[in-house]
Chains A and B, each alone.
Chain A
């Protein structure tokens, strides 16, 4: 293992060079796919904003369609539309809005999710809000088992450990949100002969923080090789409005506000990026710990969690398995 001194500067990139490379790659990919432009969903978050800006620079604003896809239950939808509108104006983007609430009702997303929640909290119903959360990975060796946090209409908070079927049921139902959004993106891509852009950053892509055939589906992914810290650097370089870059990352999947650390990652994104970078570059936990103001044991837990997530989510990256007579 390396004994180099680690600092956040290891993630600094040459923005001008990186943007030029990605622009070129977007043009090549679009040509290779024989598409005439690009479609992407914009959430008002920094990842989709940077992807939109890159596509506009690569293909021209007239060849990029951005889609806002709010839903009635989301805690962040209204603000998401406001931020996405600010982005569209700043980049000269053609933008449409497709509310996915009725589509989600049609799939039974909300009803199925609520039925799963009632397996552990029978009183859950109309007017309640919820999210699922994980315990901290750095504070103990405990297995990370999801708990349900639900707030009743009178404001009282309930917390319950989730059973296997309740957890799988809630995740399966809420996955409709990402899959319905992707269906809409591909509808517009098909009618315009455009390519669909995926907007994960490297942290999300590497750690499987996406829904298979939901936000994980795309024709190309312009920032999947960049740490989120680097995406923020590009955002500043590309002139993404400060209203967007100053927002903390969220999941925007549950009716209660939920941070990405509560739901998935062990640490805030800037520290997670360094952990992932260090893991990829064989830096020992001891060498990294001081930079993060953590104990070595805590960094070792994060490393184990990184490895575990890679194993667990390998399925999400896999293409279909084809059977042939040579197997």
Chain B
């Protein structure tokens, strides 16, 4: 799966799950989920579950850091890296 497809899926998931798609809003790919208040700690759990189930990866405890999970761009990069190392 290429990076564009990963980003597309992650973006769709975020918009549908946390923005409610019918609001017609989007989120910038570099926008921080935490700083914008879009996702809280429960939401991060939800996101991790989605990533593990959708991309068949395991998010290790030490990988649960903002650098990997706090924007669409960061999530895309993180997932790409995990898939490449499989």
Interface residue tally for chain A (C-beta within 8 Å): 16
- Against A, the Cβ 8 Å flags (1 = close, 0 = not) of B50-68 are 0000000000011011110
> In the complex the two chains form, what is the Cα distance from A308 to B35 in whole Å?
9
**B69 in the interface, Cβ–Cβ < 8 Å?**
yes
Closest to A167 in B: B45
Cα(A312)–Cα(B38), bound, Å? 10
Asked if B46 is at the interface of the complex by the 8 Å CB criterion, the answer is yes
Contact partners of B45 in chain A: CB under 8 A: 145, 162-164, 167
Closest B residue to A141 using CB positions: B65
Hey, what's the 0/1 contact readout for B37-51 against A, CB within 8 Å counting as 1? 100111011101100
Write the A154-187 contact mask toward B (1 if CB under 8 angstroms, else 0): 0000000111100110000000000000000000
Interface of chain B, main secondary structure: helix
Tell me, yes or no, whether A323 is within 8 Å of chain B by CB.
Answer: no
By a CB distance below 8 angstroms, the chain A residues around B44 are 143, 145
Q: Which of B40, B46, B66 contacts A141 (CB 8 A)?
A: B66
Given A142-B61, A308-B34, CB of A168 within 8 Å of CB of B66: no
Interface string of A137-154 (1 = CB under 8 A from B): 000111111000000000
Q: Is the CB of A143 within 8 A of B49?
A: no
Query: Could you list 21 examples of A-B contacts with CB < 8 Å?
Result: A140-B65, A141-B67, A142-B61, A142-B64, A142-B65, A143-B41, A144-B41, A145-B41, A145-B44, A145-B45, A145-B48, A161-B61, A164-B42, A164-B45, A164-B46, A164-B49, A308-B34, A308-B40, A308-B41, A311-B40, A312-B41
Leading 4 A-B pairs by shortest Cβ distance: A312-B40, A164-B45, A143-B64, A311-B37
